[in-house]
Amino acid sequence: MSIILSRIDSRLLHGIVATQWAPSVAPDRLMIIDDEFANDPVKKESMRLGKPAGMALSIISREKAYANFSSHKYDGQRVFLVVRDPQIILDLLHQGEKIPKLTIGCTLIPETEAVKVSRRAYVKKEEIEIYRSIAKTGTEITVQYVPADSEEPLSKYLE
Amino acid sequence: MRRFVIASHHEFALGLKKTLEFLTRTGHVYAISAYVDSKPLEKSIEEVFSQFARDDEVIILTDMLQGSVNQKFYPYMNDRVHLICGVNVPCAMALALYPEDEALTPERIRRVLEESRSQMIYVNEYKNQADEDDE
């Protein structure tokens, strides 16, 4: 077992993820894959303030994450993955990782053409194909900001 | 000059600023209510800090440790810029009423936090205990 849940969240590790999602998912490791935060020591250190109790926290670059998964570093751990870019999810699937589920939590309000999928989230036009490819692998994709929100399938919004 | 920056998810910051001004008549309180609109939080923080002088003493009060709001202030911390999270009214009041000619050293800030932490009480039980001593 490795990735048990993945999430799209423009704020990555923040209050809602740390205090609501992480305790309910209860992984062994919360993993943020993001080059901007992984490669900037101050940003990375600030984000570490959000570390929930009782689990390891990784804030790592794409390159490092892909290499670590390839070398089976997290086999035997239950990983909750949070990213901003769905391409990362697709890349991991392409290199053979199993990702049973992807939750779209929140995104920025795009300046380009996009589909609104909840009060908090949009799918940009150029991301639609990425989400379709993810869904084709069998990964369930839902939209849900906080655990108390009702969970909607993404397919409801993307036809 | 001593400045207070209160920042939170939504309007707790604005409310605490108003409460603080009502209780203490302190000036120089800046509220940042994050995520009420799509304005990036970094920009709101920059705008507030751009009004400050280099030797100003800045006390930042945020809602919670793990929140993104608190995280965004992390790069601003230094000897004169203090970041405190999980703020409550007793804490904000004690800091606002602290004599301005006494610098808020780490030791003094720690003491204020200990006292304000102790002001969070389950009053049902507190009252019962007080009753026993009463008569």
Provide, as residue numbers in chain B, all residues whose Cβ is less than 8 Å from the Cβ of A13: 66, 68
Domain limits for position A149? 3-156
Contacts by B34-43, CB closer than 8 A, 24 or more apart: B34/B7, B34/B8, B34/B9, B34/B10, B34/B68, B34/B69, B35/B9, B35/B10, B36/B10, B36/B11, B38/A108, B38/A109, B41/B68, B41/B69, B41/B72, B42/B72
Residue A43 has pLDDT above 60, yes or no: yes
Cβ distance of B71 and A46 shorter than 8 Å: yes
Cβ distance of B9 and A15 shorter than 8 Å: yes
Give the C-alpha separation, B91 to A37, whole Å.
Answer: 32
Cβ distance of B69 and A15 shorter than 8 Å: yes
Cβ distance of B71 and A49 shorter than 8 Å: yes
Provide, as residue numbers in chain B, all residues whose Cβ is less than 8 Å from the Cβ of A19: 64, 66
* Cβ count near A114 (within 10 Å): 18
Could you please report the per-residue DSSP string of A55-94? Answer: SEEEEE-HHHHHHHHHTTTTTTS-EEEEES-HHHHHHHHH
Provide, as residue numbers in chain A, all residues whose Cβ is less than 8 Å from the Cβ of B75: 42-43, 46
What pLDDT shows up at residue B126? 85
Give the C-alpha separation, A147 to B5, whole Å.
Answer: 31
A56 interfacial to chain B (CB closer than 8 Å):
no
B43-78 confidence digits (pLDDT tens): 999 999 999 999 999 999 999 999 999 999 999 999
A51 interfacial to chain B (CB closer than 8 Å):
yes
Number of domains into which chain A is organized: 1
A67 interfacial to chain B (CB closer than 8 Å):
no
Of B9, B38, B65, the CB nearest to A49: B65
Three-state SS at A30? strand
Residue B128 has pLDDT above 80, yes or no: no
Three-state SS at A133? helix
Contacts of A29 by beta carbon, 8 Å cutoff, 6+ apart: A55, A56, A57, A58, A74, A77, A78, A79, A80
Of A15, A43, A45, the CB nearest to B66: A15
**Residue B44: what residue type?**
S
Cβ distance of A15 and B38 shorter than 8 Å: no
Provide, as residue numbers in chain B, all residues whose Cβ is less than 8 Å from the Cβ of A18: 66-67
Domain with residue A122: its CATH number is: 3.40.35.10
- At residue B124 the predicted structure's pLDDT band, cuts being 50, 70 and 90, is confident
Residue B127 has pLDDT above 90, yes or no: no
A55-71 confidence digits (pLDDT tens): 999 999 999 999 999 99
Give the C-alpha separation, B120 to B118, whole Å.
Answer: 5
Q: Which two tokens stand for residue A95?
A: 């290199």
Provide, as residue numbers in chain B, all residues whose Cβ is less than 8 Å from the Cβ of A54: none
What pLDDT shows up at residue A8? 98
What pLDDT shows up at residue B25? 87
Cβ distance of A50 and B68 shorter than 8 Å: yes
Average pLDDT over residues A124-130: 96
Which chain A residue's Cα is nearest to B8? Answer: A15
What pLDDT shows up at residue B130? 57
Provide, as residue numbers in chain A, all residues whose Cβ is less than 8 Å from the Cβ of B74: 42, 45-46, 49
Provide, as residue numbers in chain A, all residues whose Cβ is less than 8 Å from the Cβ of B67: 14-15, 18, 50
Q: Which domains does chain B have, with CATH numbers?
A: 2-134 (3.40.50.510)
**Residue B28: what residue type?**
H
A47 interfacial to chain B (CB closer than 8 Å):
yes
- At residue B129 the predicted structure's pLDDT band, cuts being 50, 70 and 90, is low
